[in-house]
Amino acid sequence: MTVTESSTIFHPGPRQLRRTPDDWVDQPYTRFTLRPMSPTIGAVVSGVSMADAVDAELFQQLNRALLEWKVLFFRDQHLTHAEHSAFARNWGALENHPFIRVRTDNQPEDTPEVVRFEKGPKMAGFENVWHSDVTWRANPSLGSILRAVEVPTVGGDTLWADMGAAYDGLSDSMKERIEGLVAVHDWYNTFGRGMDEATRDSLRPDFPAVEHPVVRAHPETGRKTLYVNQAFTQHIVGLDPGESQELLAFLYNQAAFPEYQCRFQWSVGDIAFWDNRSTQHYAVSDYFPQRRVMERITIVGDRPVASIT
Ligand SMILES: [Fe+2]
């Protein structure tokens, strides 16, 4: 079978979208309200102050909302670095980014887990490629919590894609084709590109190329999720280079369907908290030379697996 046979690149008509797995039990939210931004992905949370402590019930409800909606938005929060970190720690240990700190000298000193993305006249935004964060790690992030510090007058939106819905939308033959495949992910061609050779070589032993399943089972929902991305996936193991490239190009393109997406227009103080295991995102780079400053914290995740036993 070739990729083209089962390709659905041009397929107008309605999509059958599922927001949650078929066996998911809906429960009411009592601690906040949710306003959906699309049928399956993205919801604005109202009634939560992220600077305050998160008790067990609130954590349980926020985590359920994260699993169901994949990206949660909180308006007007204006967190300090310490508050940002404290909120994120409810979900687990926090990551330190090994490469961004090497390449830029404006990272916050007080909280090394906070990564600052400062874009403007000196450095234009280059995160306008569909990706999920740090899939070059053996254990990519569970989630990312991004805070808007400074935004352009217009533009600089972020889009997210529901990769569970994208998987569902594949033809049966394509699902069969990619079942059990494994892909190599690496940081070398993205973060490595701006580094000198000595720096790259010194980081290599700690961050070798890693393999992840092309279809990941979400560790908390069990849902099958398309888990290759344009920024970090290199090739599919066991396929010849041409076939790997063609298949990956087809799979990458699934994130680009608007039916699987939501789009968020930032104001200063807004927060987006996304499930990095079930989504990809794309930062629109349309505001140069205006400034856009964001701060991100990522939470340590687990090793992606193809199925949950
Ligand atoms: Fe990202």
Tens-digit pLDDT string for the chain (309 aa): 444 444 555 678 888 899 999 999 999 999 999 999 999 999 999 999 999 999 999 999 999 999 999 999 999 999 999 999 999 999 999 998 877 765 555 666 778 899 999 998 888 888 899 999 999 999 999 999 999 999 999 999 999 999 999 999 999 999 999 999 999 999 988 888 878 888 888 889 999 999 999 999 999 999 999 999 999 999 999 999 999 999 999 999 999 999 999 999 999 999 999 999 999 999 999 999 999 999 999 999 999 999 886
Distance 97 CA to ligand 1 centre (A): 12
The pLDDT score that the predictor gives to residue 10 is: 64
Contact indicator for 270, 74 with CB cutoff of 8 Å: yes
C-alpha to C-alpha distance for 145 and 157, rounded to whole angstroms: 15
Closest by Cα among 204, 180, 181, 200 to 192: 200
Distance 100 CA to ligand 1 centre (A): 12
The residues placing their C-beta within 5 Å of ligand 1, an ion, are 133
| Conformational region of residue 120, where left means phi above 0, alpha means psi within -120 to 50, and beta covers everything else | left
Distance 103 CA to ligand 1 centre (A): 16
The pLDDT score that the predictor gives to residue 104 is: 58
The pLDDT score that the predictor gives to residue 107 is: 64
The letter for the amino acid at 145 is I
